[in-house]
Structure 1
Amino acid sequence: MPRPSKGPRLGGGPAHERLLLSNLAIALITHKAITTTETKAKRLQPLADRLVTFGKRGDLHARRRALSIIPDKQAVYELFDQIAPLVNERAGGYTRITKTGYRKGDNAPMAVIELVLEPVVSKRKPVTPKAAAAASAATPAATAAPSDEPVVTDAEASVDEAAGGSDEPTEVESTDAVETSEPTPAEDETPAATEVEADAEKAAEPDSK
């Protein structure tokens, strides 16, 4: 006889084990929570999660696969039409096992396996009004809407003050464009050299008198 891949064998053989897990799955879907031994609950958990995955898929092929595992039309209807919409936002972990102690008599460990149908709660922290106000105050000034008032530079303000605050526009000439009329050093030296040469020629001429 082949050995099961996960956990101990339930029942007398593989067929008996499949039938036992099928009946447990039908009871879990119908009642949403059942009390059984810890071993049976651990073997039922992956099968129940697989059936809920079929229910979330919701197509005809998924329904036929679910019917092949649990041959109960009422249980399949509850799985696809009632349970699947409640866990549509949940990514996994559709069942929960809670240990309840030991059974009186044979001292077998007992557990409750149930479907997790609570709405999914986001782990993100809610934004408080103070945090929102701090975030809005921290935004850069460049994102603000531009004002319609003209921007006055420092040069224009100094010109207005020199003009005495008159309303008439004042033209400002650039100092870079002003040309100086002072002669260059070469031009200053040229007339002086010419006068020295003329005096030398007069001195060299013989006195005609």
Structure 2
Amino acid sequence: MRHRSKTVKLKRTADHRRALLANLACSLIEHGRIRTTLAKAKALRPVAEKLVTLGKRGDLHARRQAVAFLRHKDVAKKLFEEVAPLAAKREGGYCRITKLGARMTDAAPMAVIEWVDQSAEAPAEDVAPVEAKVAEAPAKKSKAKKAEDEAPVEVEAEEAPAKKPKAKKKADEPAEDAPAQEEAEAAEDKE
């Protein structure tokens, strides 16, 4: 029986799950906001919050623990220097999960996980707002609307300057005229 077993297994072995969560945590620290499945976001939240707690502690042992889990010194450095100071006044709840709806391909529930303090003060520069992308998703149209949209629309196109056609070599021309013809084509290209 699974009494008091809180580990979300995500249908992976323990090593695979640990590597997945470490990679997700690195991406979250690096970008400030990531888009993933809802199950992975829920599994990532306790891991990310424990890493922020290590960052708030800030001692050498906490740094070594963070590097041991994340396996990237530069990401651990960003955790301790940028992410943890923003959450210094907060007692917990450093992450926010926002549901996005089903993924188009396999209908998996998607979510965005982000830092609460970072999104309020300095939005993530590398990641475009996902909410805007979801809002731009095309709505289903009725058959009448589709017929109207598919009607040809006349658009005036700007006339592009016509290019001069290059003279093609003929197979029956003698080979000795080839250098002269190449020189003539090069002169035309320069003009």
* TM norm structure 1: 0.53
- Indicate conservation of the 8 Å contact 1:34/1:113, yes or no: yes
Q: 1:116, CA displacement in angstroms?
A: 1.2
Indicate the residue corresponding to 1:44 in structure 2: 44
Cα distance, 1:67 vs structure 2: 1.1
State the match for 2:5 in structure 1. Answer: 5
User: CA separation in 2, counterparts of 1:102 and 1:7?
Assistant: 24
Measured at CA, do residues 81 and 99 of structure 1 come closer, stay the same or move farther in structure 2, by a change above 3 Å? same
Deviation at 1:7, TM superposition (A): 5.4
Which ranges of structure 1 fall in alignment gaps of 5 or more residues?
120-209
For residues 93 and 63 of structure 2, the distance between their equivalents in structure 1, rounded to whole angstroms, comes to 21
1:5, distance to aligned residue in structure 2 (A): 2.9
Cα 1:8–1:62 shift into 2, 3 Å: closer
- 1:26 partnered with 2:31: no
Aligned to 2:105, the other structure's residue is in SS state coil
Quote the residue 1:87 is aligned against: 87
Q: Name the counterpart of 2:100.
A: 100
Distance 1:22 1:11, change over 3 A: farther
Distance 2:83 2:21 in 1: 19
Larger of the two Rg values belongs to structure:
1
Q: 1:7 to 1:58 in 2, by over 3 A?
A: closer
C-alpha contact 1:66 1:76 (8 A) present in aligned 2: yes
TM-score with structure 2 setting the length: 0.58
Gaps of 5+ in 2: 122-191
1:129 match:
none
Code of the residue aligned with 2:100 in structure 1: it is T
**Whole-angstrom distance in 2 between the partners of 1:81 and 1:53:** 13
SS in 2 for 1:64: helix
Structure 2 residue matching 1:90: 3-state secondary structure? coil
The C-alpha deviation readout for 1:112-170, integer Å capped at 9, x for no partner, is 00011137xxxxxxxxxxxxxxxxxxxxxxxxxxxxxxxxxxxxxxxxxxxxxxxxxxx
Contact 1:10 1:16 (8 Å CA) reproduced: no
- Looking at structure 2, the residues matched to 20 and 11 of structure 1 have their Cα atoms a distance apart, in angstroms, of 12
**Matching residue's letter, 2:106:** D
Report deviation, 1:92: 0.9
